[in-house]
Amino acid sequence: MLKVSIAPDGKEYPLPTEAEAVQEKLLLKKITEEQRAMGRKIVAVQGLGFVGCVMASVVADATDKDGKPIYYVHGHQRASKRSYWKVPMINSGVPPVSSSDAEVPQIFHRTVVEKKNFRATCDDSVYSLVDVVVVDIQLDATKPAFGEAEKGYCDITAFREGIRTLGQYIQPHCMVLVETTVPPGTCQKVVKPILEEEFTKRGIDIKINPPLVAHSYERVMPGAKYVASIRDFWRVFSGVNPQSIELCREFLSNVLDVENFPLTQLDNTNASELAKTMENSYRAVNIALTLEWAKFAEQIGVDIFKVRDAIRKRKGTHDNLLRPSLGVGGYCLTKDPVLANWAMGALFNVEGSLDFAIRSVNVNDTMPLHTIELISKEFSSINNLKIAVLGVSYLEDVGDTRHSPSKTLVEFLRKDLAQVKAHDPYVEAWPELEEIHVHNDLKDVLPDADVVIFAVGHSQYKQIEPKDLLAICKTKPLIVDCSNFLSDATINTYKGLGCKVRGVGKGHIVD
């Protein structure tokens, strides 16, 4: 039986055969030799997910003062059924991610098709050919009990295996730049020892050729400025030794706009890793705080978003106050406090815990339940209610469903026996909730709806005219606004058409 990898759009890509793997090794060597003859250094990006694939294209797009590419980039993705499809898709010049940023398809076409200095592969031998490896493989936190992040931990098995693969192939001069968000201590206590072990097995003297390991975290926002958030934004970095630091500085300076967004060097990789997890923990605590006040505002007839706007006028101290919503999603805020909390004991043997950060994760993870509370106040039972959920990604105008709060929302609505249909213009499939079909046409989810939940602020949803939505519904559903996606004028229009409207933090809505 032919083994295939199925892309989100349903297209099947056969996994490579043994004969094809042999040919791929030869092709990789040929390409690399040709590129070195052109004076280019060779980079591999390990992991072509939401960060890795765009980072690879940004590296390939970097040019010298004469406008010539500095690097040739081999993107690497394992030949698994779940993710191999990214390799042939990228090699056709098409990005494996969906975004509202027009620069995403442009930069992939430019580097893959026009410049021909970015190509994807699944062959591990590629790491023996490169000068730099950028590590973007996924490392997640495991939270075994819902709403109890204090029990969370980090399973670094797959990450360790990925680093071990590098140790088995890379040349001693190759710098390993860890871009993955990792628990503090990972480069020093996990990456470096594994590389030293594998180097020693290969007969490499680690005193003469110590592994070159650096860490620099991205601040990617996969929305309208997806590419710019990687290339045109501030970076923090460090390394395990002076040579690693200088190689990392040189690489980042070649790839990023460091003239307008200067690099920040920290003392060591422990500090750089701590900075990333603390930075995201700060945001997680900020958001958790707003939900507490949003509930208060609902009870006393106040619009928390207008209050927030008033507070944010205090520039420099309060203008970064975030907003309540359906919940917190994405790959960072939901896990980074857990990674750091786990590292305290597991990597540093330090007593104590990061209490505020962990409590914020619990608040944020359970935040979708508040939206269900708003619905429950309007109906005697959720059982059999027909509910349309608009938006399943974690962020507006992107197709990333990792840790989306919509998952929690849908799961708990279904536990209450509601009939749930989901829509998202950017999502073809929902790997974290495979039993739910994600529709791309509103006419497939809105008819006969009792409740319409504006879960994510996609631009398409904000442009829907109330009369058009009700024409498709053929009902007068309860409208639920999860994060100020509907203006007061739009809310009043819905009310004028006979609908009730409720919203997170919107206590000012009067029937």
With 0-12 CB in 10 A as exposed, 13-18 as middle and 19+ as buried, what is 98?
buried
CATH number of the structural domain spanning residue 476: 3.40.50.720
Instruction: With respect to residue 281, please indicate whether it lies within any of the assigned structural domains.
Output: no
Q: Are residues 247 and 104 in the same domain?
A: yes
pTM of the prediction? 0.90
Buried/exposed 462-480: b ≥16 CB within 10 Å, e otherwise? eebebeebbebbebebbbb
Expressed as residue numbers, the domain containing 483 is 367-503
121 backbone φψ class: left, alpha, beta (φ>0; ψ -120 to 50): beta
Q: What local confidence, expressed as pLDDT, does residue 372 receive?
A: 97
Instruction: With respect to residue 167, please indicate whether it lies within any of the assigned structural domains.
Output: yes
Q: Are residues 491 and 383 in the same domain?
A: yes
**pLDDT by 10s per residue, the chain, length 511:** 568 999 988 899 999 999 999 999 999 999 999 999 999 999 999 999 989 999 999 999 999 999 999 999 999 999 999 999 999 999 999 999 888 899 999 999 999 999 999 999 999 999 999 999 999 998 889 999 999 999 999 999 999 999 999 999 999 999 999 999 999 999 999 999 999 999 999 999 999 999 999 999 999 887 789 999 999 999 999 999 999 999 999 999 999 999 999 999 999 999 999 999 999 999 999 999 999 999 999 999 999 999 999 999 999 999 999 999 998 877 677 889 999 999 999 999 999 999 999 999 999 999 999 999 999 999 999 999 999 999 999 988 888 898 899 999 999 999 999 999 999 999 988 989 989 999 999 999 999 999 999 999 999 999 999 999 999 999 999 999 999 999 999 999 999 999 999 999 999 998 8
β partners of residue 142: 153
- CA distance to 144, 280, 377, per residue, from 154 (Å): 11, 16, 38
Residue given tokens 């990617």 in the structure block: 220
Instruction: With respect to residue 345, please indicate whether it lies within any of the assigned structural domains.
Output: no
Given 271, 292, 314, which residue is the final one in a domain?
A: 271
Q: Are residues 182 and 51 in the same domain?
A: yes
Instruction: With respect to residue 10, please indicate whether it lies within any of the assigned structural domains.
Output: yes
Note the Cα 143 to chain centre separation in Å. Answer: 18
Instruction: With respect to residue 291, please indicate whether it lies within any of the assigned structural domains.
Output: no
**Residue-by-residue DSSP string for 183-207:** -TTHIIIIIHHHHHHHHHHTT--TT
Q: How many residues does the chain have?
A: 511
- CA distance to 9, 76, 243, 414, 417, per residue, from 5 (Å): 11, 15, 40, 30, 34
Instruction: With respect to residue 228, please indicate whether it lies within any of the assigned structural domains.
Output: yes
Q: Are residues 14 and 157 in the same domain?
A: yes
Residue given tokens 């043997």 in the structure block: 349
Given 228, 254, 271, which residue is the final one in a domain?
A: 271
Instruction: With respect to residue 94, please indicate whether it lies within any of the assigned structural domains.
Output: yes
Instruction: With respect to residue 420, please indicate whether it lies within any of the assigned structural domains.
Output: yes
Given 212, 247, 271, which residue is the final one in a domain?
A: 271
Nearest to 162 by CA among 274, 44, 50, 277: 44
Number of separate domains in the chain: 2
Nearest to 87 by CA among 20, 19, 141, 42: 20
